[in-house]
Chains A and B, each alone.
Chain A
Amino acid sequence: MNNILLDSAISFSKEGTFKLELDKDTTISVESDNVKLYLVTKNNIKVDFNILNSTTIYNITRESITANINIYNNAKLDFYEMAVTDKEITNEVNVYHKNKETTSNVTCHGISYGKGDLKFSVNGYIKKGMIGSICNQSSRIINLDEGKSSIKPNLFIDEFDSIANHSAYTGPFDEKLLFYLETKGISKKEAFNLLLNGFMKVVELPIDYESVLDNILDKVMRR
Chain B
Amino acid sequence: MFKIDKLNVKIKDTDKEILKDFSLTIDKGEIHAIMGPNGVGKSTLSKAIMHHPDYVIESGSITYNGKTLNDLTTDEIARKGIYLLMQDPSIIDGVSNSEALRTALKERGSDTNLYSFITKMKKELDSLNLPKDAMHRSINKGLSGGERKKNEVLGLKVLTPSFIILDELDSGLDVDSLKVVANNINDYLKENKDTSVLIITHYSRVLDLIKPDYVHEMKDGKIIKTGDITLAKQIEKTGFTGVNEVEPSENYE
Which residues of the other chain, A, contact B50 by a CB distance below 8 angstroms? 179, 182-183
Given contacts A179-B74, A194-B99, A198-B138, A185 and B107 within 8 Å (CB-CB): yes
B100: Cβ under 8 A from any A Cβ: yes
B199: Cβ under 8 A from any A Cβ: no
Q: Taking each of A177, A179, A187, A190, which has the highest tally of chain B beta carbons within 10 Å of its own beta carbon?
A: A179
A175: Cβ under 8 A from any B Cβ: yes
Contact mask B86-105 → A, CB, 8 Å, 1/0?
10011011110001110110
Total contacting residues, chain B, CB less than 8 A = 29
Is A181 in contact with B100, judged by CB distance below 8 angstroms? yes
Given contacts A179-B53, A180-B89, A186 and B103 within 8 Å (CB-CB): yes
Is A197 in contact with B108, judged by CB distance below 8 angstroms? no
Is A201 in contact with B94, judged by CB distance below 8 angstroms? yes
Which residues of the other chain, A, contact B79 by a CB distance below 8 angstroms? 185
Is B90 in contact with A187, judged by CB distance below 8 angstroms? no
Among residues of A, the one whose C-beta sits closest to the C-beta of B85 is A183
B134: Cβ under 8 A from any A Cβ: no
- Tell me the dominant secondary structure on chain B's binding face: mixed
Among residues of B, the one whose C-beta sits closest to the C-beta of A189 is B75
Separation of A180 and B103 alpha carbons in the complex (Å): 13
Among residues of B, the one whose C-beta sits closest to the C-beta of A191 is B75
Which residues of chain B from 201 to 252 have any CB-CB distance to chain A below 8 Å in the complex?
none
B84: Cβ under 8 A from any A Cβ: yes
Is A198 in contact with B93, judged by CB distance below 8 angstroms? yes
**Chain A interface: which size bin?**
20 to 34
Is A186 in contact with B104, judged by CB distance below 8 angstroms? yes
Is A179 in contact with B94, judged by CB distance below 8 angstroms? no
Is B92 in contact with A185, judged by CB distance below 8 angstroms? no
Is B92 in contact with A181, judged by CB distance below 8 angstroms? yes
Give the contacting residue for A198; candidates B78, B95, B159; CB below 8 A.
Answer: B95
Among residues of A, the one whose C-beta sits closest to the C-beta of B165 is A183
Smallest CB–CB gap between A205 and chain B, Å? 12
Which residues of the other chain, A, contact B54 by a CB distance below 8 angstroms? 175
B36: Cβ under 8 A from any A Cβ: no
Give the contacting residue for A187; candidates B99, B107, B155; CB below 8 A.
Answer: B107
Smallest CB–CB gap between A203 and chain B, Å? 10
Which residues of chain A from 156 to 208 have any CB-CB distance to chain B below 8 Å in the complex?
174-177, 179-188, 190-191, 194-195, 197-202
Is B92 in contact with A198, judged by CB distance below 8 angstroms? yes
Given contacts A179-B53, A182-B74, A183-B74, A194 and B103 within 8 Å (CB-CB): yes
B73: Cβ under 8 A from any A Cβ: yes
Interface residues of B (CB under 8 A from A): 50, 52-54, 73-75, 78-79, 83-84, 86, 89-90, 92-95, 99-101, 103-104, 107-108, 138-139, 155, 159
Interface residues of A (CB under 8 A from B): 174-177, 179-188, 190-191, 194-195, 197-202
Q: List 29 A-B contacts (CB under 8 A).
A: A177-B92, A179-B50, A179-B52, A179-B90, A180-B89, A182-B50, A182-B73, A182-B74, A182-B75, A183-B86, A184-B101, A184-B104, A185-B79, A185-B159, A186-B75, A186-B78, A186-B103, A186-B107, A187-B107, A188-B75, A190-B103, A194-B100, A194-B103, A198-B138, A199-B93, A199-B94, A201-B94, A202-B93, A202-B94
* Besides the known contacts A177-B92, A182-B50, A184-B104, 14 further A-B residue pairs in the complex with CB atoms under 8 A apart: A175-B54, A180-B139, A181-B95, A181-B100, A182-B74, A183-B50, A183-B83, A184-B101, A186-B104, A187-B75, A187-B107, A190-B103, A194-B103, A202-B94
